[in-house]
Structure 1
Amino acid sequence: MRNSLEGKLAIVTGGAGGMGRAHALRFAELGANVAILDVDLQVARRHGEELTAPTVRDEIQALGRDSIEIEADLSDREAAFAAVQQIEGHFGRIDILVNNAGGAITPIEHSSATMVSEQDRRQLFAVNFDTAVNMCQACAPSLSRQGGAIVNVSTVGVCVDDTGARFAMYTAAKAAIEKYTRSLAVELGPKGVRVNCVAPGLVMTPRVAGQAAARKLAMNEQAATIPLRRLGQPADITGVVEFLVSEQAGYVTGECILVSGGLQLVSAT
């Protein structure tokens, strides 16, 4: 395999469904063992996502790889560190961390810069920023022992707002992730750890598809305004993450790659 991850251990947060599941399965296909962390291990079922086995862990094991799954709120520092300790105890190493967990989880009609409540602001930063920071700090010692790669997840929304600026606090949290990524790359680079970011556009995961009409987001008419004239698919993102964790990106760190079909090049939707 071109980007073989044979013998490596990858952690995927938010890995029990959607985009996280796509990352987890791709890593397993490339030879890695995978630890799945999620605040809700039943998330795929809740969003009507069809799995090929009862759980994502079972799907990975069917590919011949070892896997464990841990249900935890990773915005809680103690929970994040305990989960990583459990993973290290099981696998003995950590090579890859993908901080996929997060999302614009508060009501978007109340999430603009002037309207967002303190409670929603704190929740958005906890889920999107605190979770990633906790996991990076918990995994850094293990990654530093043999080198490795971290991929954090931002959003194209850091570069462009929709016409109502409905995602102000969500995108602010992701902007913080991008700056944190660059700082962490500087700190961990001498230890052989590369830290990068991906910023997806409108990607049709089962959750996004189920909420598209209510949120007026990721609709077919929006696809017509994207330079590549289509909405993103999970494989569009997994391919870039695969590159970033592979040796092909061995001299790439502190970068944020937009994976949006060119959405940031045109007027906001």
Structure 2
Amino acid sequence: MDLGIQGKTAVVTASSSGMGRNIAHALAAEGANVVLFARSADKLEAVADEIRAQHGVRAIAVPGDMLAQHDVARLRRIACEELEGPDILILNTGRAPNPLRATLDETDEARWTQAYQNQLWSVIQVAKELVPAMLGRGWGRIVAVTSASVKQPMPHHSLSTVFRAGVSTYVKHLANEVGHAGITANCVAPALIDTSHRSGQAAYTPEQAAARKRLTPLGRMGSQEEVCGVVTFLASRQAGFITGSSINVEGGMVGAIF
């Protein structure tokens, strides 16, 4: 299927490794040029090299911090001047501070502040700078990566869930306000995804993995490719009538009907 994004420009945040890197590859495989944004310059350039070699598209590494206004302004300038974009904005962020704790044990204000900045304010900082650059183009896609814990809270995840829920609400507001410009805005909410790619080793003990698999009727954990496939579809021409939605990628873990 031709997703209609060949030649489009996609900005992907937190894309030097993990989910962001894989999403950038998935978009590039469909012919999109990519602007990669993360703090690690060396890792980011290595990803750009991979993408250029594997997919034959343009890939530009822009080192910077989502919380630094001057870095985000530079990201917008480079995306607009070098690739006439952005057409697609993928809002991916890092994780909450570790270790995760029970809600009433989260008493450290510094951890709450860090989680707020990394998972909510960083998204707002990037969106308020780049989304105006998408207006007037007649077409655009915004996709934020959140978590299925927003819809079904998981134990010890409140530090993450509270602010990812804020991202979902923020994106819903964006959808209502930018639809007139042909821009859609959606969230992808994953859970129970295999993250062994981070270290090349199993992310969980056999007992932990078995317990997580029991949370889904499919009896297995999800793959990075399955999450990236949903993100890529929401960035496609065919997804043009989906906006203000949050799509679960969690194998049926969420028990709610709606």
TM-score, structure 1 as length reference: 0.86
Q: Specify the alignment match of 2:144 in structure 1.
A: 152
* CA displacement at 1:106 relative to structure 2: 3.1
Matched, 1:254 2:244: yes
Matched, 1:71 2:63: yes
Equivalent residues in 2 for 1:48-59, closer than 5 Å: 55-59=46-50
Residue 31 of structure 1: SS of its match in structure 2?
Answer: coil
Q: Specify the alignment match of 2:191 in structure 1.
A: 201
The Cα RMSD (Å) is: 2.3
Residue 135 of structure 2: SS of its match in structure 1?
Answer: helix
* 1:150-176 deviation per Cα after TM superposition (whole angstroms, max 9, x unaligned): 0011101112233xx311121000000
Matched, 1:119 2:110: yes
Retained in 2: the 8 A contact 1:11–1:34? Answer: yes
Equivalent residues in 2 for 1:107-146, closer than 5 Å: 107-109=99-101, 112-146=103-137
Calculate percent identity across the aligned residue pairs. Answer: 30
Matched, 1:86 2:87: no
Query: Could you tell which deviates more after superposition, 132-141 or 111-120?
Result: 111-120
* 1:171-224 deviation per Cα after TM superposition (whole angstroms, max 9, x unaligned): 00000001001101111111111100010012113238758348x996233113
Residue 177 of structure 1: SS of its match in structure 2?
Answer: helix
Residue 82 of structure 2: SS of its match in structure 1?
Answer: helix
For the structure 1 residues 224 and 79, does the alpha-carbon distance in structure 2 shift closer, same or farther, using more than 3 Å as the test?
same
For the structure 1 residues 218 and 123, does the alpha-carbon distance in structure 2 shift closer, same or farther, using more than 3 Å as the test?
farther
Query: Could you tell which deviates more after superposition, 76-85 or 251-260?
Result: 76-85
Unaligned runs of 5+ in 1: 45-53
* CA displacement at 1:41 relative to structure 2: 4.3
TM-score, structure 2 as length reference: 0.90
Matched, 1:21 2:11: no
Out of 78, 89, 97, the position equivalent to 1:97 is 89
Residue 135 of structure 1: SS of its match in structure 2?
Answer: helix
Which aligned segments of 4 or more residues in structure 1 are displaced greater than 6 angstroms?
A: none
For the structure 1 residues 203 and 132, does the alpha-carbon distance in structure 2 shift closer, same or farther, using more than 3 Å as the test?
same
Unaligned runs of 5+ in 2: none
Matched, 1:264 2:254: yes
Q: Distance in 1 between matches of 2:103 and 2:202?
A: 18
Query: Could you tell which deviates more after superposition, 197-206 or 98-107?
Result: 98-107
For the structure 1 residues 244 and 218, does the alpha-carbon distance in structure 2 shift closer, same or farther, using more than 3 Å as the test?
farther
